[in-house]
Amino acid sequence: MQVKIGDSTYLNFIDIALEIVSLIPPYSSKYSKKIFTQQQLLVLIIFKQKLKLSYRDLIEDIKTRESILLMLDLAKLPKPTTLIMFAQRIKCKMLNILLGSCIHLTKKRKTNLSIDATGYHLEDGSYHYPQARTLTK
């Protein structure tokens, strides 16, 4: 049985991520270095989250994935610090646009939903954390 390249889950994931990030401008400023686009960096960060890797491990992993490099049109790979600095400066407006796009894309597909019935609230934290905060004041 021969495996087709188009059957790859990761390549399909990258393709969807590229479709979503196409809504944002390629560069944040006219003074950008223009080595990597915002779309390329954001897809790499999304892929990092999907694979649950560190920034350094992601770059090492991407080196072995020639088809992803071709899809992203990357002549060279960014350093891990480039990805970290980009992740720190992503604006909320950009994330809202991308989240809206994801919601729009998933309307056409079946989604799985699970409800948390543990009885814990987000506000419930550790007993020791509020105690330590009162000691520092």
Task: State how many domains the chain has.
Answer: 1
User: Angle, nearest 10°, between helix axes 9-21 and 38-51?
Assistant: 140
Domain range for residue 105? 5-109
Task: List the pLDDT tens digit at each of the 137 positions of the chain.
Answer: 454 555 678 888 888 888 888 888 888 888 888 899 999 999 998 888 888 899 999 999 999 989 999 999 999 999 999 999 988 888 777 777 777 776 666 565 555 656 665 655 555 556 666 666 666 65
> Which whole-number Å values give the CA distances from 1 to 4, 5, 24, 41, 67, in the listed order?
10, 13, 40, 35, 21
d(CA 97, CA 49): 19
Q: What is the pLDDT of residue 63?
A: 92
Say if residues 62 and 21 touch (Cβ distance below 8 Å).
Answer: no
Question: Helix crossing, 80-89 with 55-62: angle to 10°?
Answer: 120
> Does residue 136 sit within a domain?
no
In a domain, 87, yes or no: yes
Task: Note the pLDDT of residue 32.
Answer: 85
Q: Is residue 65 part of a domain?
A: yes
Is 30 inside any structural domain? yes
Task: Give domain status of residue 137, yes or no.
Answer: no
Is 23 domain-assigned?
yes
The angle that helices 38-51 and 55-62 make with each other, rounded to 10 degrees, is: 100
* 77 in any annotated domain: yes
Inside any domain, residue 114: no
Which are the contacts of 16, defined by CB distance < 8 A and separation ≥ 6? 105
Eight-class DSSP state of 123:
T
Q: Are 74 and 40 in contact (CB under 8 A)?
A: yes
